[in-house]
Amino acid sequence: MKSCSVTARAHTNIALVKYWGKKNQELIIPMNNSLSLTLDHFYTDTTVTFDKELEHDTFYLNNKLKDDPKIKSFMNLVRSLANIKTFATIDSVNHVPTQAGLASSASAYAALAKAASCAAGLNLNKTNLSRLARRGSGSACRSIYGGFVEWQQGTNDTDSYAVPFLENVDWDISVLAIVLNSKEKKITSRLGMQSVVASSPYYQAWVETCQQNISDLKKAILARNFDEMGRISEENAMKMHALNLSASPHFNYFEPESLIAMRLVEELRQTGISCYYTLDAGPNVKVLCLRKDVTAIKKKLSTVFSPEQLLLSSPGPGVTLI
């Protein structure tokens, strides 16, 4: 094939009902459905250039050469779908801390799926693009779409993908990320999930309650009931982290500052401000709030955290070519 270069941008998403555990490790088929909100502040730009002169794939992350077997495996999958053998240069820039619990893998593989598939000559619809992104990182399948997105767990490679629930969010939801630690986490999401599924005595209850959480969350979103949406999201996050504490051996992603941030949010709620926290596989706390309350929330959080640690997001778009 001729040399072809395509650049795509995808945004991270924050799961309000979490995905935490796989029924199929290789295909990344989850144990339960999940529901997320795509964010505008954090994103990844990825350029894929297929070149017949190359003898292997070359991957740059934030302008640094990386040897990442997962990227190579993903590119092999793209080549198989496109029936080509040409190698590529992948140049990816993360506008989000990598592997710190801020969903960098979601935006990374959503952008890579779009750029690589287009550069390879594939014309995938969003369903098949979501399926492809899932093979790189489970949460990436949700970043194909903007707004509120549900990942339908499915049972196999063909029926496990994300679908939009409410793409155009026209109410003033905000997410204030409190960045406590942007370093790579000690326990990857993949290992954390495996440990929890294998050893937590509460895992089956988690799967069952997630289904009810999604049903209730959808009703809250459609009714624009922010407090109910926030309550369900916070509760679901705490149940996920409780699984980690119940695993054998137990582990957690919290830092002392995580607990301080959560306490401050609870104190704000006691004063009548609607705000709720959620955490993924990392110490960083995300505060769900309404735009009108951001100033008051920042003022409270600024008593402990610096302005540079407080990053404001709004609902974001799906993956695009740039």
Identify the CATH number of the domain in which residue 208 sits: 3.30.70.890
- Is the domain of 187 the same as that of 210? yes
pLDDT of residue 2: 59
- Has residue 319 been placed in a domain? no
pLDDT of residue 96: 77
Q: How many domains in the chain?
A: 2
- C-alpha 238/C-alpha 210 separation (Å) is 12
Last residue of a domain, one of 169, 190, 207: 169
- Is the domain of 78 the same as that of 116? yes
pLDDT of residue 98: 58
pLDDT of residue 186: 81
- Is the domain of 110 the same as that of 226? no
**Do the Cβ atoms of 240 and 18 come closer than 8 Å?**
yes
SS3 readout for 273-311? CCEEEECCCCCCEEEEEEHHHHHHHHHHHCCCCCHHHEE
- Has residue 148 been placed in a domain? yes
**Residue 58 is inside which H or E element, if any?**
strand 58-61
Antiparallel, parallel or unpaired: β 285-290 and 275-278? antiparallel
- Is the domain of 163 the same as that of 187? no
- Has residue 156 been placed in a domain? yes
- Is the domain of 15 the same as that of 161? yes
**Host domain of residue 247:** 173-313
- Is the domain of 178 the same as that of 254? yes
- Is the domain of 58 the same as that of 188? no
CB proximity list for 297: less than 8 A, separation 6 or greater: 176, 268, 273, 275, 287, 289
Q: State which amino acid sits at residue 84.
A: I
- Is the domain of 165 the same as that of 257? no
Last residue of a domain, one of 121, 146, 169: 169
- Has residue 126 been placed in a domain? yes
Identify the CATH number of the domain in which residue 81 sits: 3.30.230.10
pLDDT of residue 182: 64
Q: Where are the alpha helices (DSSP H) in 87-165?
A: 104-119, 126-136
- Has residue 321 been placed in a domain? no
- Is the domain of 261 the same as that of 195? yes
- Is the domain of 156 the same as that of 234? no
- Has residue 181 been placed in a domain? yes
- Is the domain of 224 the same as that of 288? yes
Instruction: Return the DSSP state at 180.
Output: S
- Is the domain of 207 the same as that of 262? yes
- Has residue 82 been placed in a domain? yes
Last residue of a domain, one of 143, 169, 195: 169
Per-residue pLDDT tens digits of the chain, which is 322 residues long: 656 899 999 999 999 999 999 999 999 999 999 999 999 989 999 999 999 999 999 999 999 999 999 999 999 999 999 999 999 999 999 987 654 556 689 999 999 999 999 999 999 999 999 999 999 999 999 999 999 999 999 999 999 999 999 999 999 999 999 999 766 778 888 899 999 999 999 999 999 999 999 999 999 999 999 999 999 999 999 999 999 999 999 999 999 999 999 999 999 999 999 999 999 998 999 999 999 999 999 999 999 999 999 999 999 999 999 9
- Has residue 210 been placed in a domain? yes
